[in-house]
Amino acid sequence: MTRKLVLFFLLFLILWETGCNTVIIRPWTPPYKSRSVHDVRVLIGKAEGDLQIRGEGIISVYDANDLLIKKGIDIISLDVSRLKAPIRFVGESGGLEYKSLKVRGSINVVPQGQGPALIVNSLPLEEYLYAVVPSEVPYSWPNEALKAQAICARTYAVREILNKKNALYDVEATTNSQVYGGLEKEHPSTTKAVQDTTGVMAVYEETPIQAFFHSNSGGKTETPDNVWGGKKIPYLPAVVSEFDRAGDNFYWKETISQDLIVSKFSNLKIGEIQSIQVLSRTGSGRVDLMEFVGSEGSTRIRGKEFRQTLGTPVRSLRFGIQKEGNGYLVKGMGSGHGVGLSQWGSFGMAKENFNYVEILRHYYPGIELARITR
């Protein structure tokens, strides 16, 4: 009896110490047995004409029926315009190179009939993340921030795999999906963060969440319906992100010349542009509607159209604009679309000793953590 009381007391102490940080990671089984989520297909390029794949040692080429059709040492060249069916390159040493991008796994060349062939890198999901996490955030960041980023990246990838089960690839290697820098981008600290969270995803009602993330929210995140339209998503509300102050682009300013404004917005057809002002903002303080006044009339455009048209100078929609000299002064806060996890906010939270679970639940309230089963 005494022993049971001691064990009970020790368990009570453990729960008391961990408190709200206690997290249960449930098993999660993919809904489609025909397509594994343990492997991912990454579009790394498109090719027409001559193609070169490099490696160290023997490179083998297989056809669509997995029959060996060619072998080479260190490099294989071929004319992709002559391909009628997909082929697969496998390196004996485990690594291959396409246009200076060194990757794990295999490289598939998928002819399209009309247009360039797709170059697709197929590799285990966890090994893909070894290159994604340090491509998205610095490897020198606190471990808890790296683990939060690893879970976001894994969740994003699995959701894409499920949504693209009938497509030729799952994700791209650019910011169209997640940045994927290949083998040379890997680092022990980010690899450890991936391994420490192996298979763990953020889920909501048993489904991998839309794990949007961005660089810096400027103090408050945005809801996805204000950025891309559609319905509100329960786990993606606008939340205060005070720890963004630790990061790049919390405050920024740019001067945009009148000449650039005229060249970029000539399609408005309102004559010489004389003034630009913000008419309305979203609940998070981001620009919603703007008015352009010209010598031949005025018109209104959405803030996101303004940012998309000007590109890099307008780092986020949390900005103000005023006429200054022969141009416009734009002062803003944050960088990126503002939806979901703020990477610099995650960094700041980790610096203040928040763990990865607390970070994720701050930016995605209501989510649970689950581990992919085999």
Give 247-268 pLDDT, tens digit per residue. Answer: 999 999 999 999 999 999 999 9
Average pLDDT, the chain: 92
As given in the structure block, the two tokens for residue 70 are 């060619």
Q: Does the CA dihedral 135-141-146-152 come out positive or negative?
A: negative
- Whether the per-residue pLDDT at 6 is higher than 80: the answer is no
As given in the structure block, the two tokens for residue 29 are 């089984």
Beta bridge partners of 297: 294
* H or E segment and range at residue 166: none
- Whether the per-residue pLDDT at 11 is higher than 50: the answer is no
In 3D, which of 244, 231, 68, 40 has the Cα closest to residue 153?
A: 40
Rounded to whole angstroms, the Cα distance separating 324 from 257 reads 9
The confidence band for 35, taking pLDDT boundaries of 50, 70 and 90, is confident
Calculate mean pLDDT across residues 333-341: 97
The confidence band for 185, taking pLDDT boundaries of 50, 70 and 90, is very high
CA 168, 170, 171, 177: dihedral to nearest 10 degrees? 120
Q: Does the CA dihedral 9-14-18-23 come out positive or negative?
A: negative
Say if residues 301 and 325 touch (Cβ distance below 8 Å): no
Quick one: pLDDT at residue 246?
83
As given in the structure block, the two tokens for residue 366 are 């209501």
The confidence band for 51, taking pLDDT boundaries of 50, 70 and 90, is very high
- Whether the per-residue pLDDT at 44 is higher than 70: the answer is yes
Give φ, ψ of 367 to 5 degrees. Answer: -80, 160
Say if residues 276 and 320 touch (Cβ distance below 8 Å): no
Domain ranges of the chain: 49-115, 127-246+337-372, 251-333
Q: What is the CA radius of gyration of the chain?
A: 25
Which of 20-24, 150-154, 276-280 shows the lowest mean pLDDT across its residues? 20-24
Rounded to whole angstroms, the Cα distance separating 335 from 250 reads 7
